[in-house]
């Protein structure tokens, strides 16, 4: 493991005994808190700082989730929080933004779009809420699947002063270590390039291990990082661990850092400085 400075722009934590998560199942249906994170980071010489991204607890508990994570921040190294906000409801969004303004760790918001119908983010209430997010000086994390990238393009055009952080490269199909899916020349790559033409959008290098069909390899996933690099350029790429959904943690960190050194010559921007700038971390 090479020593490196890292700010992980995509960490999840949850505890089903504290908050409610109706989506958890299988091996994820248990607590993933500070002790489990410490175990995942064992062997990493320099523990990263983190941006916590909302873990889709019950919507009514969104503010409580922020308070719970803030209570763990000094132990875990959380430097910023991307909180849930109900952007489809402008009045409720205003109430959440008022609450988050009193919580200095909140640096952005997210409303999951990956399971919503096409055009969900184009509704007038959603766009009004997105403008309010921008006016509050917060970012918006867009978590979509590859076929929804045009919706993110439309949102970026409609609210040009909103900084949009694309989670997980838009969740392309990556295949498996044995039968990797193509990256360049695909509809996903074309849509990603079109999205990158919007200067208010950046891309998070996260989530690809979770999209793999079974065990993953660096050789399988590096072509997708290459497509993102060609589209966005080094200053608009952020490392995200997506723990505990993606893993093993050290393998993904090593994969992205080695790729960045090979392709860019330095890993500091992708691994740390870009996240600090985009999320305005103190």
173-180 average pLDDT score: 94
Parallel/antiparallel/unpaired status of strands 49-53 and 237-239: unpaired
Q: How many CB atoms lie within 10 A of CB 234?
A: 15
Q: Which two structure tokens, joined as six digits, stand for 140?
A: 């918006």
d(CA 249, CA 211): 15
138-163 average pLDDT score: 98
Put residue 171 in one of left, alpha, beta given phi > 0 → left and psi -120 to 50 → alpha. Answer: left
Of the candidates 234, 188, 185, 194, the residue with the CA atom closest to the CA atom of residue 208:
188
Q: How many CB atoms lie within 10 A of CB 1?
A: 11
pLDDT-derived band of residue 32, with 50, 70 and 90 as boundaries? very high
Q: Convert the pLDDT of each residue in 47-68 to its tens digit.
A: 899 999 999 999 999 999 999 9
pLDDT of amino acid 47: 87
Q: Convert the pLDDT of each residue in 226-271 to its tens digit.
A: 999 999 999 999 999 999 999 999 999 999 999 999 999 999 999 9
Q: Find the DSSP H helices in the chain.
A: 34-40, 62-76, 90-101, 124-135, 149-158, 187-196, 208-211, 218-232, 249-263, 268, 274-278
Answer yes or no: is pLDDT of 134 > 90. yes
Helix/strand number for the chain, H first, E second: 11, 8
Contact status, residue 218 vs residue 174, Cβ threshold 8 Å = no
* DSSP 8-state class, residue 121: G
Answer yes or no: is pLDDT of 273 > 70. yes
On average, the pLDDT of the chain sits at 96
Percent of the chain topping pLDDT 70:
99
d(CA 8, CA 254): 13
77-89 average pLDDT score: 98
Parallel/antiparallel/unpaired status of strands 49-53 and 78-84: parallel
Q: Convert the pLDDT of each residue in 189-240 to its tens digit.
A: 999 999 999 999 999 999 999 999 999 999 999 999 999 999 999 999 999 9
pTM (2 d.p.): 0.96
Answer yes or no: is pLDDT of 4 > 80. no
pLDDT of amino acid 1: 52
For 272, residues 6+ apart whose C-beta sits below 8 A from its C-beta are 5, 6, 7, 49, 239
pLDDT-derived band of residue 43, with 50, 70 and 90 as boundaries? confident
166-177 average pLDDT score: 97
159-169 average pLDDT score: 98
Helix axes 62-76, 90-101, angle to 10 degrees: 30
User: Residue 168 CA to chain centroid, in angstroms?
Assistant: 6
d(CA 79, CA 106): 9
d(CA 275, CA 39): 24
Q: Convert the pLDDT of each residue in 85-111 to its tens digit.
A: 999 999 999 999 999 999 999 999 999
Contact status, residue 267 vs residue 232, Cβ threshold 8 Å = no
121-141 average pLDDT score: 97
Of the candidates 161, 160, 142, the residue with the CA atom closest to the CA atom of residue 152:
142
pLDDT-derived band of residue 46, with 50, 70 and 90 as boundaries? confident
Domains by residue range for the chain, with CATH: 7-278 (3.20.20.140)
d(CA 174, CA 164): 23
pLDDT-derived band of residue 3, with 50, 70 and 90 as boundaries? low
């Amino acid at each position: 493991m090479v020593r490196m400075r890292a700010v992980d722009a995509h960490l999840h934590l949850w505890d089903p005994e504290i908050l409610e998560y109706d989506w958890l199942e299988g091996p994820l249906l248990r607590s993933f808190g500070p002790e489990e994170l410490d175990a995942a980071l064992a062997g990493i010489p320099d523990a990263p700082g983190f941006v916590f991204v909302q873990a889709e607890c019950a919507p009514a508990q969104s503010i409580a989730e922020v308070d719970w994570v803030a209570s763990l921040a000094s132990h875990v190294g959380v430097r910023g929080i991307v909180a849930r906000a109900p952007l489809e409801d402008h009045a409720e969004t205003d109430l959440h933004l008022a609450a988050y303004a009193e919580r200095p760790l909140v640096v952005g918001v997210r409303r999951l779009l990956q399971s919503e119908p096409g055009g969900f983010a184009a509704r007038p209430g959603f766009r009004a809420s997105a403008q309010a997010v921008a006016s509050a000086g917060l970012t918006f994390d867009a978590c979509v699947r590859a076929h929804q990238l045009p919706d993110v393009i439309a949102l970026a055009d409609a609210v040009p002063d909103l900084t949009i952080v694309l989670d997980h490269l838009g969740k392309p199909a990556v295949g498996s270590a044995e039968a990797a899916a193509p990256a360049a020349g695909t509809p996903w790559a074309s849509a990603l390039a079109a999205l990158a033409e919007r200067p208010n959008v950046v891309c998070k290098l996260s989530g690809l291990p979770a999209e793999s069909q079974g065990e993953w390899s660096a050789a399988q996933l590096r072509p997708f990082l290459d497509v993102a690099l060609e589209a966005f350029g080094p200053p608009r790429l952020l490392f995200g661990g997506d723990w505990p959904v993606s893993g093993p943690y050290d393998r993904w960190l090593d994969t992205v850092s080695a790729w960045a050194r090979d392709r860019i010559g330095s890993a500091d921007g992708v691994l740390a400085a870009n996240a600090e700038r985009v999320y305005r971390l103190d």
